[in-house]
Amino acid sequence: MNVDVKIRYVSFDGASVVVSLDEKIMKNGEIASFVLKMTGIGDDIISAVDFESLEFCDNVGAIPVCFEDISRPPRVIRKIRATRDTDGRISIRYGCKFKPARRNPILDMGIERNGTMGAGENFLPSFNREKINLNIGFDISDLPENCSYVWTYGGSGSFEVKGDVLSSSYFCVGKINRCENGNFGYYWLDDTVDLSETAAMAEKIFSDFSVFFGDTDEPYRILARCRETSVCGGTAADRSYAYIYAPEMHPSKEDLKLLFAHEIVHNWTTMSDIPYGICTWYQEGIADLYSTLLLYRNGMLTRDELIFDLNSKSRQYYENPCVSLPNDQLGKLLFKDLEATTVPYGRGFFYLLSVDRDIRMATDGKKTLDDIVKKLLSINKPDNEAWLSELEKIGLADARAKFDRMCSGEIIAPVLSCFDGADIEITQTHSVRRRTGEECTVWEFK
Ligand SMILES: [Zn+2]
């Protein structure tokens, strides 16, 4: 499918979009889909698309369409279907109204003081195709002279990309501050800070991690949103990451190191997490483990910082009142219960450490978790079954039983076999769970 998209930013608070497709759509076929709103993330994020303004036409004239809203927690997807067969090129036109920048997660296209930045899913369509040939054009001629724009994949031009590329990438327009080097870019709109040193640190993490994950020379962009917030956190999209910091309170480089590393790992290690919660242990566990591990290996995390990080992960996991809930139940509590939301991070982290030890023992140290992680990168849409099958292939006979115990919520004690040279001692102590005050065991790292 060839898709032409023209995005004209008419001001910082709105855009007009024209899309045209060269594919014939049969009656009841899906022309495009939009994320209508996200549910279950605090107060809902509503689409910036002005649905009243949507027009569809082809050679015959206006195409009558019907909307079908499908719940895909935490989102509602609005599918748009043609109610007659189409004839010739299909064009879609609509306007968008952006709103003030929201808190995390960054799934909105949000207005700040000097522009607007955020997620494509808030205002652009997705096409139900594996690949599309996208010809994209940006028009900022209505904006003041010193304005520019950013898109995860670059600027105006032609791209062979996934059908949902527009809705799974980030956009920014306005008076943008930027640090770019090759395909790496770092952007912010707030003119009261200079983030160039933070950008240089993020670029080093990205380029070092790219070597481990065997990345080709594809773009990666980080966007910083400035708005009132009590915690600095962010959201990863395809080949990009956006985070929020409070005005005049940009975190230090040191504070952002592990956060950026975690988000950058997400860029490569995905597992299809549907229904939600089934593979979160891997998504978040791998991101937590490899952010720490690769920073330690490349000398960006000292032994003291490593110990501090292990101890905070330990307390977060073992003192969690939801630590024993099974994976599927944790998925249902995502964003509704902050404690439940964080369990898969610690569960994945300590399970993966334990599996790393098992792999080393089963293969006489010839293989490690690194080998499995890299193997999964070569598999299209890996899932829990792919993970188990790789473990069984290298001779981990009880991999499945151990995995089932992890999924059901069994507490996993820490073992450390991958932090070479750190020489860390683990001791067991008593503590209490948050919220319930129930007695529990916590492990300390020294
Ligand atoms: Zn994450």
Q: Tell me, what CATH number does 314's domain have?
A: 1.10.390
Tell me, in angstroms, the distance from the centre of ligand 1 to residue 263's CA: 6
Q: How many domains does the chain have?
A: 3
Tokens of 224: 């910083």
Residue 59 located in a structural domain: yes
What is the arithmetic mean of pLDDT over 209-232? 93
Question: What confidence tens digit (pLDDT) does each residue in 123-145 have?
Answer: 999 999 999 999 999 999 999 99
Percent of the chain at pLDDT > 70 equals 100
Tell me, in angstroms, the distance from the centre of ligand 1 to residue 292's CA: 13
Longest CA pairwise span in the chain (Å)? 74
Domain residues for 192?
A: 176-266
Tell me, in angstroms, the distance from the centre of ligand 1 to residue 259's CA: 9
pTM here?
A: 0.90
Tell me, in angstroms, the distance from the centre of ligand 1 to residue 235's CA: 8
434 Cβ partners below 8 Å, 6+ apart? Answer: 319, 320, 321, 339
Residue 334: per-residue pLDDT = 84
Tell me, in angstroms, the distance from the centre of ligand 1 to residue 436's CA: 26
Residue 435 located in a structural domain: yes
440 shares a domain with 322: yes
Tell me, in angstroms, the distance from the centre of ligand 1 to residue 244's CA: 15
8 shares a domain with 148: yes
Residue 284: per-residue pLDDT = 95
Tell me, in angstroms, the distance from the centre of ligand 1 to residue 357's CA: 23
Task: Indicate the average pLDDT of the chain.
Answer: 95
135 shares a domain with 198: no
Tell me, in angstroms, the distance from the centre of ligand 1 to residue 9's CA: 31
Residues, the chain: 446
378 shares a domain with 234: no
Tell me, in angstroms, the distance from the centre of ligand 1 to residue 285's CA: 8
Q: Tell me phi and psi for residue 357, to 5 degrees.
A: -60, -45
Tell me, in angstroms, the distance from the centre of ligand 1 to residue 262's CA: 6
Question: What confidence tens digit (pLDDT) does each residue in 65-91 have?
Answer: 999 999 987 899 999 999 999 999 999
Tell me, in angstroms, the distance from the centre of ligand 1 to residue 265's CA: 9
Question: What confidence tens digit (pLDDT) does each residue in 264-277 have?
Answer: 999 999 898 888 89
The stretches of 223-299 forming alpha helices (DSSP H) are: 253-266, 280-297
> With contact defined as beta carbons under 8 Å apart, do 109 and 121 qualify?
no
Question: What confidence tens digit (pLDDT) does each residue in 33-57 have?
Answer: 999 998 877 778 999 999 999 999 9
Tell me, in angstroms, the distance from the centre of ligand 1 to residue 257's CA: 14
Residue 271 located in a structural domain: no
122 shares a domain with 224: no
Residue 272 located in a structural domain: no
